[in-house]
Chains A and B, each alone.
Chain A
Amino acid sequence: MKRIGVLSLQGDVSEHVAMLNTLGCEVVKVRTLEQLDSVDALILPGGESTTIAHLLVTSGLSDALAVKLKEEMPVLGTCAGLILLSSEILDGRSDQWSYGALSVSVRRNGYGRQIASFESELDVQGVGRVPGIFIRAPRIERVSEEVEVLATLDHGDGAGEHPVFVRQGHVWGLSFHPELSSDTRVHELFLNSL
């Protein structure tokens, strides 16, 4: 059985863990190098991207995760996790870094502050309709050719359809939080790819 890690430095770790448990996975909360080395795939949860980035450095995990990404370990990031995986961050801190594992530009809080957080149903390729829960969500503004778009959203703000769920080989990024719903199909899609 595959061992799935959930980066457990900060954020909505327990929702991902609960969902993976429901799906019968062996789950490891990853806070140390040994724990990172023990997993076959990793989920980067929602949370504050600046906080998680800071804690990746102080806990000595940041370089090791870069190596894992280069070695093509499957990684899925939701919200803050998407920001960490992206290649360009707009409206972030001037010194904010990211792994560049997904060739996408994301705008932090691209839909607005918390008052603008919203729910909207999504149509995910290969899955169907799923609940989309967007919380101070990053907005994917540009994707390069090698990025596969699995779901889009027209937020009704005149900007038209834009991606909210992308995949580039072993790296997956979502603007929304499937882990906050009871629908396990997005996680199943990721697990079935392993």
Chain B
Amino acid sequence: MSSSISSSTTGTALVKRGFADMLRGGVIMDVVNQEQAKIAEDAGAVAVMALERVPADIRRDGGVARMSDPLMIQEIQASVTIPVMAKARIGHFAEAQILQALDVDYIDESEVLTPADEENHIDKWAFTVPFVCGATNLGEALRRIGEGACLIRSKGEAGTGNVVEAVRHLRTINAQMRRVHSADASELYSLAKDLQAPLALVREVAELGKLPVPLFCAGGISTPADASLVLQLGAEAVFVGSGIFKSDEPVRMAQAIVEAATHFEDASVVAKVSTGLGAAMKGWETASLEQRLAERGW
């Protein structure tokens, strides 16, 4: 029982991916101030995403969307005990350095903000803090993992309240993983070329039958039924952006989505928590959008 060791190592792939494992089955909620953060924690959120404007408002306001003011991130860190995530622009490694210096628990290199680099994403291996990135297909997911992402989420179409794009992305990723998993070893070179993904990671998917990191869902989730849908489609946790605080009754909506995420396979529980919830956020038909955020990132 004598274990006197001071050879601890931080920032390993295992502790970064392991932290994502701890969030599984949970709901990560976008919050813009301390009051919302507390509502999220009270409702059972596993983490909050601190940002100045939820995606629906970014979409409405237009202009350049950047990393949040460190002050609001620090205020939210001080107000809750659960993990606090924050967003950096695609390719903006200086924003990521600031977020790491602020001791945020996860960085979302996010297409919801205005991209800072149209060719390169952040070299995420260079950081101790873990990163989550969005993906619309398997190749994109594996490119992000190749750059050091420890968690992948579907992009969906943020701020629309419409789950259709998230479903498309999840189904695409799953179908492509099934194809890779069933492929002959000699077919993987060509598949890697088609997916524009690193061969080593394609081989890992072929062996595991799934991504080497957890796969969560984001983008347009607005109701307990939406959460149940994407979890049944294979997502392991959900990010809810505008869907909670743009609904009629955010407290009840937050609690209901948390319960639906746990009991997503039990329709009687999802029915119970969906009953009399008030209106979900209004939402947009994606065909009518002027700007598709999911197209950002490469």
Contacts and interface: CB of A to CB of B under 8 A. Distances in A.
Given A114-B105, A118-B10, A13 B1 contact: no
Interface stretch (B39-47, B136-144, B275-283): B39-47
Interface stretch (A20-28, A68-76, A153-161): A153-161
Contacts of A13: 24-25
Nearest to A80: B22
Interface of A: 8-15, 31, 46-48, 50-51, 54-55, 58-59, 79-80, 91-93, 96, 108-109, 112-125, 133-136, 149-156, 161, 164, 177, 180
Interface string B1-45: 111111111111011101101111110000000000000010111
Contacts of A164: 3
B274 to A, nearest CB: 14
Interface of B: 1-12, 14-16, 18-19, 21-26, 41, 43-47, 81-83, 100, 103-106, 128-130, 255, 258-259, 261-263, 266
A116 B1 contact: no
Contacts of B46: 10, 47-48, 51
A184 B36 CA distance: 41
Contact of A14 (B14, B18, B24, B128): B24
A136 B44 contact: no
B292 to A, nearest CB: 31
A153 B4 CA distance: 6
A93 to B, nearest CB: 6
A161 B21 contact: no
Contacts of B255: 58
A133 B22 CA distance: 12
Contacts of A125: 1
A51 B10 contact: no
A54 B1 contact: no
Contacts of B6: 154-156
B100 A115 contact: yes
A55 B25 CA distance: 11
B1 A150 contact: yes
Nearest 8 CB-CB pairings of A with B: A156-B6, A54-B44, A123-B3, A114-B105, A120-B8, A117-B15, A118-B8, A10-B25
Contact of B15 (A11, A15, A96, A119): A119
B133 to A, nearest CB: 17
22 contacts: A9-B25, A11-B22, A48-B23, A51-B44, A51-B82, A54-B43, A59-B263, A91-B81, A93-B41, A113-B104, A114-B129, A117-B15, A118-B9, A118-B15, A119-B15, A123-B3, A136-B83, A136-B105, A149-B1, A153-B3, A161-B4, A180-B18
